[in-house]
Amino acid sequence: MEVIITPAPAIGGLVVDQIGALLDRKPTAVLGLATGSSPLVAYEELAARVNDGRLSLARARGFTLDEYVGLPEGHPCSYRSVIDHELVSRVDFAPGAVMGPDGTAPDLEAACVQYEHEISTAGGVDLQILGIGTDGHIAFNEPGSSLASRTRVKTLTDQTRRDNARFFDGDVDAVPRHCLTQGLGTIMDARHVVLVATGRGKAAAVRQLVEGAVSALWPATILQHHPHVTVVIDEPAAAQLELADYYRDTYAARELAR
């Protein structure tokens, strides 16, 4: 696990550098696209580079991590709408190149199986962008999730619903109680994971992710078993890391060696 501690304004560029390097060697790459506030800086930078001709997603594909259950098609808080607004409509993905789990399906379990099949048929995810919740969840894999889980229906914790109420005009009662989400096992199949976290509110989760014991109580800790994870965080998010100076030195030495 590589940990990069950097000023917040640099995070978007660092993440998109990883995407750009992937697209250079594989223009047909499959990207895993997280929603939420953490990846926004990366999507801003990605859109800027596509629009000025430095990158193209025209041959790439994308899969989103999760979706609320029961929100009607076109609802502004559905993750299909969010990813369209934040990224897809601003770049050159081909029509239909980005898919998400279907939270309106009449048979949700069948929809989960079909989504796993779609990811597999595409060749798997080459680079997965992640955020992390204050309780250590990734995607909607809440504390207690099986570390081997696949795409499935999950019940959201009260903490996650409170955290996400800001997207529903502050009304926690408007936040759905259920979702479809890629499982931890599904996420672990990605060839490269890039996780972004900013702010002191994420510091405890980041500490557990990087230096804590692997535990279903902190689902993101499963990433310690992944062979290629890049964690990009700002100084407030790094505030509780015991080995923060080591991570800074390691990254600085790597940059000097280039």
What residues are labeled active site? 66, 135, 137, 142
Tokens 């999950």 map to which residue? 154
Please check whether residue 181 is in contact with residue 66, taking contact to mean a CB–CB distance below 8 angstroms.
yes
| Distance, CA of 138 to CA of 196 (rounded, Å) | 11
Please check whether residue 237 is in contact with residue 210, taking contact to mean a CB–CB distance below 8 angstroms.
no
Please check whether residue 184 is in contact with residue 222, taking contact to mean a CB–CB distance below 8 angstroms.
yes
CB atoms within 10 A of CB 6: 16
Tokens 């030495």 map to which residue? 253
Tokens 């596509």 map to which residue? 50
Q: Which letter does DSSP use for residue 165 in this model?
A: G
Please check whether residue 219 is in contact with residue 257, taking contact to mean a CB–CB distance below 8 angstroms.
no
Q: Which letter does DSSP use for residue 147 in this model?
A: T
150 class by beta-carbon count within 10 Å (0-12 exposed, 13-18 middle, 19+ buried) = middle
| Distance, CA of 31 to CA of 258 (rounded, Å) | 26
| Distance, CA of 97 to CA of 88 (rounded, Å) | 9
Please check whether residue 60 is in contact with residue 93, taking contact to mean a CB–CB distance below 8 angstroms.
yes
